[in-house]
Amino acid sequence: MHPLEGLLELAKLPRSTFYYRQKAASRPDRHAALKEAIKAIFDSHKGRYGYRRVTAQLRQLGQRVNHKTVQSLMAGMGLKSLVRPKKYRSYRGEAGRTAPDLLQRKFSADRANRKWVTDV
């Protein structure tokens, strides 16, 4: 028995799968040029561009590429955009203020159309 057969039996893999993966690993990367372009765009924008903006840049350069391909390649290369933290803004302006309570819960009126109220 060949040592490879023992390993394949242990891993529960068919021989064809082993040779298919071996052949696939020896083939050149078909996305090598695209990966270089993605890396260049990502680096030129200091890591702030995600896959959508990188895809838009590639299309502006005249390259026809699917956004899913760019997303997959960026994930495989470990490129993830940096999300800038939002500034803390505590000022609400006039919107957060409440109106003064003029009725003081005295809802009855001596004539019609003297007091109008609503529920918020």
Residues 22 and 49 in one domain: no
Q: How far is CA 21 from CA 3, 17, 24, 33, in A?
A: 18, 6, 5, 23
Distance (Å, rounded) from C-alpha 53 to C-alpha 49?
Answer: 6
59 and 73 share one domain: yes
* pLDDT per position as a tens digit, 56-104: 999 999 999 999 999 999 999 999 998 778 888 887 777 656 778 888 8
What sign has the CA pseudo-torsion 24, 26, 31, 35?
Answer: positive
In the predicted model, is pLDDT for residue 52 greater than 90? yes
Copy the structure tokens of residue 84: 């800038």
Domain that holds residue 54: 31-82
For residue 12, the one-letter residue type is: K
Tokens 């500034």 belong to residue: 87
Residues 39 and 53 in one domain: yes
Residue 18 per-residue DSSP state: H
Verify that 13 and 37 share a domain, yes or no.
no
51 contacts 70 by C-beta, under 8 angstroms? yes
With contact defined as beta carbons under 8 Å apart, do 42 and 49 qualify?
Answer: yes
The answer to whether residues 78 and 50 belong to one domain is yes
**Domains identified in the chain, total number:** 2
Does one domain contain both 45 and 77?
A: yes
Give dist(CA 29, CA 27) in Å, integer: 7
Q: Are residues 22 and 37 in the same domain?
A: no
Same domain, yes or no: 12 and 35 = no
pLDDT per residue as tens digits for the range 19-37: 998 999 999 999 999 999 9
Do 67 and 54 share a structural domain?
yes
What pTM, to 2 d.p., does this model score?
0.58
Are residues 63 and 35 part of one domain? Answer: yes
